Amino acid sequence: MRPVTVIGMPAPVPLPDVALLVGAQRHLSTVDSSSAERVVLGDIHRAIDRIAAHDGPCAVLASGDPGFFGIVRALRAAGLDVEVLPAPSSVAIAFARLGLPWDDALVVTAHGRSLNPVVNCCRAHPKVAVLTGPGAGPAELGAALRDVPRRLVVAERLGQPDERITETTPEVAAATPWRDPNVVLVLGPHPVAARAGWLAGNQPGPAGWALPEGEFAHRDSMITKAEVRAFVLARLGPRLGDLVWDIGAGSGAVAVECARFGAAVVAVERDAWACTAIRTNAANHQVELSVVEAVAPQCLSGLPDPDAAYVGGGGLDVLQACAARRPSRLVAGYAAVERVGPALATVRDNGYRAEGVQLAASRLTPLPDGTHRLAATNPVYVVSGVLA
């Protein structure tokens, strides 16, 4: 069988002479190849079956660069050989229209996928390009980002005579009808990085974690100690595309470290001074997170569903409220051993595989004569669970 020619639209070269031409109706209507059989690309699996059954030259028309979140992957998965003639991707064109570099942009797709990780990337990263899809377009994205300081640039029908570029707010985007196809750029206050990086998209993770307590503003030693934080981070597993709750955040050390891994983070804290410290710590470590100055669990109903949650303060009612939102990973820290049993029971009763551990560290402390002694930190009990 001859290779399938996959052509990015608008076509960069004259169309080859083929017997079978496959593509969306909007692409088929722009080309003159009347002698070819035309198949409208609706059900992709049915179209690929038709291509595989065809014994002559075949071309597939696709938007932009078909190897970039495009049909090339599906054709290769079906065992077909392909020749690709790409056009510029919609993302490249959208950023070009704004005159912005985009090597530091995250590129994510919501086409046929859950919108949640896309929204979380937009919460955590200052420059994101979103490939949209039915039910996951500019309006849905705007509705999910109402509380985030972002501006949206909606690029509709790029390369067409009726192309339109609209800069707007999440609130306005949520209430506006938009034309397909479109791509959305979600931009923070500073969409151009101060200096060029060496890696496209999301930058490497932090060089270290479980940072010393001195790296964070806090008071009265009310901060999760580094050794405990290392274990908590391991159980939370924060990553790009996740949303993490830090309830009773205190200094925000756990919240900030989760954000350094690329996760979107909501830090809930009732103390006004602590909320200021969280914002200061986030700024010092150059991460973005949302701070909610409110009392849990009453405030939790208004927050987006988490992928992981850490309860650093509050009673069993807070832990229960977090478990009811079904995060994949649930972690809680306690200073009193009497709270461990009820917490384990709460986690297990909500369908989690639960475990508990006591963490205590002794740190080397120098003595005047140059020798060292061990100084013990207070033990902490960590209860954690993974959704079964």
Judge contact between 21 and 39, C-beta under 8 A. yes
Could you say which DSSP state residue 338 is in?
G
Query: Do you find a cis peptide bond into 181, omega within 30 degrees of 0?
Result: yes
Q: What is residue 324's three-state secondary structure?
A: helix
Whether residue 113 sits in one domain with residue 83: no
Judge contact between 30 and 57, C-beta under 8 A. no
Q: What is residue 278's three-state secondary structure?
A: helix
Q: pLDDT, tens digit, for every residue of 360-374?
A: 999 999 999 999 999
Q: Distances from the Cα of 238 to the Cαs of 73, 162, 205, 343, 380, in angstroms?
A: 29, 42, 11, 22, 21
Give start and end residues of each alpha helix (H) in 99-150. Answer: 116-124, 138-144
CATH number at residue 121: 3.30.950.10
| Candidate from 184-193, 252-261, 271-280 with smallest mean pLDDT | 184-193
Whether residue 222 sits in one domain with residue 125: no
Q: pLDDT, tens digit, for every residue of 348-363?
A: 999 999 999 999 999 9
Which run of H or E residues covers position 61?
strand 58-63
Whether residue 100 sits in one domain with residue 41: no
Q: pLDDT, tens digit, for every residue of 67-102?
A: 999 999 999 999 999 999 999 999 999 999 999 999
pLDDT on residue 311: 98
pLDDT on residue 41: 87
Angle subtended by helix axes 253-260 and 272-284, to nearest 10: 30
Whether residue 179 sits in one domain with residue 244: no
Number of domains in the chain: 3
User: Where among 60, 87, 114 does a domain terminate?
Assistant: 87
Whether residue 56 sits in one domain with residue 44: yes
Backbone angles phi, psi at 115, to 5 degrees: -80, -20
Whether residue 109 sits in one domain with residue 32: no
Q: Distances from the Cα of 357 to the Cαs of 249, 336, 353, 386, in angstroms?
A: 21, 12, 14, 15
Whether residue 78 sits in one domain with residue 96: no
Q: Is the pLDDT of residue 251 over 80?
A: yes
CATH number at residue 60: 3.40.1010.10
Whole-angstrom distance, CA of residue 292 vs CA of residue 224: 19
Whether residue 237 sits in one domain with residue 296: yes
Q: pLDDT, tens digit, for every residue of 165-210?
A: 999 999 999 999 999 999 999 999 877 776 778 888 888 889 999 9
Question: What's the mean pLDDT in 127-131?
Answer: 97
Whether residue 286 sits in one domain with residue 361: yes
Q: Is residue 144 part of a domain?
A: yes
